[in-house]
Structure 1
Amino acid sequence: MRLIVTGMKYAPRDPDDVVALIGQNPLCWLVSAGAAGFGASPLPLLAECDAQGRLVSLFGHMATANPQVALLRAQPAALVLVNGPQAYISPELLDNPTWVPTWNYAAAVIHVEVAFVPEETRASIEQLTDRMEQGRARPWAVSDAEARLPRMLPHIIAFRAKVTAVDGRFKLGRDETRRDINAIVGAMDEGPLRDWMTLYNQERLEQEEKA
């Protein structure tokens, strides 16, 4: 059963925000533990959603030589750490030396149960490649390297991580005063963190910050 954990102070406005965060930051940490110790691998993952758009699993692949394969086979429970945009927020942005600095970020901790699906290994590579190549003038396809695949595929294994809980952490200035959040967002450089902060404070920002 899928559970969204919303008890955190900086919980997402909507579960869809976690899906969007994964889409923008697909390289996640897959962290596991077992009798043999801990395992942690940075892996690009694709969010899989149900018909209602709710996150149900994460799809990816790893090298069969990765020691974490054995750890996950013995103990499938794991965490996926999604690292989104982040930055130190200085009092300089508010032109107020008495304001205390902070750190803003968008991130998520996703509890999963990992199952290996070797029959979907090629599909996992194709789906990830197609996603990453979107928008390029001449998108590369896995089939372009067809001759190399028989040697490569035996050394890769796909997995699907079923989501059991989601702990989204979106510390984006919602606890700042109206005056301060306008000053902070107005002074920030354009980029993903500013976009997220604008989204999470859009009702409190001046009209020019909404544009």
Structure 2
Amino acid sequence: MYVPHVNALDDEPTIRAMVAEIGSAQLVTTGADGYPLATLLPVVWRGDTVIAHFARANDHWKAIGADQPALLVVTGPQAYISPTWYAAKAEHGRVVPTWNYSVVQLTGRATVHDDVEWLEGALDELVEHHEGHREAPWHRTDAPERYISGQLRAIVGLEFAVERVEGKAKLSQNRSDADRAGVIAGLDAETSPDAHAVAEQMRTGVLHRG
């Protein structure tokens, strides 16, 4: 990933918090024909391992061998930046449109799991991640056992060994304070929730929505 120094996101707790808050990633691998395959998956990152699962009907998992080189892309809020928001436009006019965003790329190796015990553990961890903070969290045992058994047969698991972590936050760090203030005001006036999230990131420096 191209990461100019000013946009580098290298604080691991911040990167992990962003991935945990977003909770999903695009898994990218290469198929037997050499063409890329991509699937959006729910993920949990713990230590040096990410766990996820596919729908069994999705043929992507069949193209993944043991320790298959792979990429996970976690994308945060993003927004178009109008040059009309820059104070510099009135000063000299040498401004152009751009795009602000945050992203994390995890490079590593993927392995598919198809045994029930592994799947149960992975699903319990995924559910705990999203349900644990709720007043009355849902548990796998809340549903009929036969129903859950059928659902487990409809998925396959994925274990991703993380080898490299890259983070990027392009939030107008190369602009003047006046230009950044103009961008924040412009984003605040937009109707898109992503635009508002980017404005908040620029204001606070916090890259996740927690």
Stretch moving more, 91-100 or 22-31:
91-100
Aligned residue for 1:21?
Answer: 18
User: Could you give the per-residue CA deviations for residues 75-107 of structure 1, whole angstroms, max 9, x where no partner exists?
Assistant: 611111111100001134346463322110001
Q: Distance in 2 between matches of 1:191 and 1:15?
A: 24
Letter in 2 for 1:43: L
**Letter in structure 1 aligned against 2:27:** L
What is the match of residue 209 of structure 1? Answer: none
Q: CA RMSD in A?
A: 2.5
Q: Tell me, what secondary structure is at the counterpart of 1:39?
A: strand
Partners of 1:66 and 1:112 lie apart in 2 by 21
1:33 maps to 2:30: yes
| TM-score where L is the length of structure 2 | 0.78
Q: Which residue of 2 aligns with 1:171?
A: 170
Gaps of at least 5 residues in structure 2 are 189-194
The structure, 1 or 2, with the larger RCO (C-alpha pairs under 8 Å, 6+ apart) is 2
- Which of the residues 108, 114, 131 maps onto 2:110? 114
The aligned counterpart of 1:53 is none
Deviation at 1:134, TM superposition (A): 4.2
**Counterpart Cα distance in 1 of 2:72 and 2:186:** 33
Match of residue 192 from structure 2:
none
| SS of match in other structure, 2:37 | strand
Q: Report if the CA contact (8 A) 2:10-2:167 is conserved.
A: no
TM-score (normalizing by structure 1): 0.78
Describe the SS at the equivalent of 1:12.
coil
Are 1:131 and 2:126 counterparts?
A: no
Q: Deviations over 1:93-126 (max 9, x none)?
A: 3464633221100012211201234332112212
How far did 1:74 drift?
5.9
Map 1:37-186 to 2 at 5 A: 37-49=35-47, 56-73=48-65, 76-94=68-86, 96=89, 98=93, 99-117=95-113, 118=115, 119-147=117-145, 148-186=147-185
Q: Distance in 2 between matches of 1:13 and 1:188?
A: 25
1:45 CA drift (Å): 0.6
Distance 1:13 1:180, change over 3 A: farther
Question: Does the Cα contact within 8 Å between 2:37 and 2:60 map onto a contact in 1?
Answer: yes
**For each residue in 1:145-199, what CA deviation from the matched residue of structure 2 results, as whole angstroms up to 9, or x when unmatched?**
1331121212222221011112222111111112211232244328432232234
| 1:195 paired residue among 193, 196, 200 | 200
Q: 2 CA distance for matches of 1:13 and 1:178?
A: 23
User: Where do 5+ consecutive residues of structure 1 fail to align?
Assistant: 50-55, 202-211
Asked if structure 1 preserves the Cα contact closer than 8 Å seen for 2:27 and 2:72, the reply is yes
188-197 or 29-38, which deviates more? 188-197
The count of residues paired between Structure 1 and Structure 2 equals 190
Query: Structure 1 residues 57 and 195, CA, compared in 2 at 3 Å: closer, same or farther?
Result: farther
Q: In the alignment, is the contact (CA less than 8 A) between 2:67 and 2:111 conserved in 1?
A: no
